[in-house]
Amino acid sequence: MTASMETISDKLLAWYDVHARSLPWRARPGSPLTDPYRVWLSEVMLQQTTVAAVKPYFAKFTERWPSVEALAQAPEEDVMAAWAGLGYYSRARNLVKCARAAARMGGFPETEVELVKLPGVGAYTAAAIAAIAFGQRAVVVDANVERVVSRLFAIAQPLPASRKTIREKAGAITPDDRAGDFAQAMMDLGAGICAARDPDCALCPLAADCQGYASADPARFPIKAAKKAKPVRQGTAYWIAQGGKVWLVRRADKGMLGGMRAFPDDGWRAGADGSGTAPLAGEGETLGIVRHSFTHFSLEMAVVKLDSDHSPGEQAGEWWPIDDLESAGLPTLFAKAASLAAAQD
């Protein structure tokens, strides 16, 4: 390294002052700190989800529930329906729990120690809120920061084992002042210039200090262990329609897509998670197959149309207008099934 740790943060902050992304949940450099509610909401939404996908959801949520107090008063089913399509639905359930806990406290606490006690708030989110919303020195490490730090220090240990070292190195270059801006600058650098593929090192403000760049192959960092192939499950969902309406059930609170409206299904018979419904009796017409990838497996789900006089079974549910299915808040898997079935019904 040709520069001190302090110089690295200075260079990055100077770059950020000019090149910071304009995002709806972010304050511009030099502006007052962002409302912690907006920081928290954006960070939860951004977990394993792209900025482009999050923007319309963030706008919809903050228009409908402009404060943590407003969100705390919202019925859980309304929040789950508004969340539909963002995936990882446990985040939505924890969103309501956290909003209610924060509202009871009179707002979000300012320290990582207290923030991490809130439902669904892990170490990363707590650090992000503390730094960005409250201006505290906190080490914020997301996937983008992991990549930047891995390249900056040419960390040869593969992920995930290298995460302890990455955090230590990130802590060493995090400044006492403007820690929130520094964290967001690292995120922006990783999202743009220091991209996963083909990093644009010629534009990087830290190129002169980067050991990965000096190695002539920065893109090989971070080193990742070989991924295991995802298992593929098969399952069936049932389309039961009559009078322009289709039968929807609410999935069990625990398990995959917990608490969401959906079509009855067979529990995804290969490795069932218990959150579906019992297979329905009788035969029907197979309309096709929809495919969806979850974190740990992929699913091939047949969509079977049953006769309109077929009993929907014992599970509580509701008849929903087919031409208004968009407002049902179906998760992406079942939205795919609805599109397939509605086109043929």
DSSP H/E element including 234: strand 232-242
Check 6, 43, 112, 318 and give the catalytic one: 43
Residue 28: DSSP 8-state: P
If you write DSSP's letter for every residue of 149-198 in order, what string do you get? HHHHTT--SPBTTTHHHHHHHHHHH--SSSHHHHHHHHHHHHHTTT-SSS
Beta bridge partner(s), residue 288: 303
Is there a catalytic annotation at residue 326?
A: no
Q: How many CA atoms lie within 13 A of 219 on its CB side?
A: 8
Nearest in space to 251 (alpha carbons), one of 264, 269, 268, 240: 264
What separation, in Å, do the N-terminal and C-terminal C-alpha atoms of the chain show? Answer: 65
β-bridge pairing 232-242 and 298-306: parallel
Whether 120 contacts 44, CB under 8 Å? yes
**Could you give the CA distance from residue 95 to residue 121 in angstroms, rounded to a whole number?**
9
Whether 103 contacts 109, CB under 8 Å? no
Tokens 């609805």, located at residue: 338
**Could you give the CA distance from residue 295 to residue 306 in angstroms, rounded to a whole number?**
30
Q: Which residues participate in catalysis according to the annotation?
A: 43
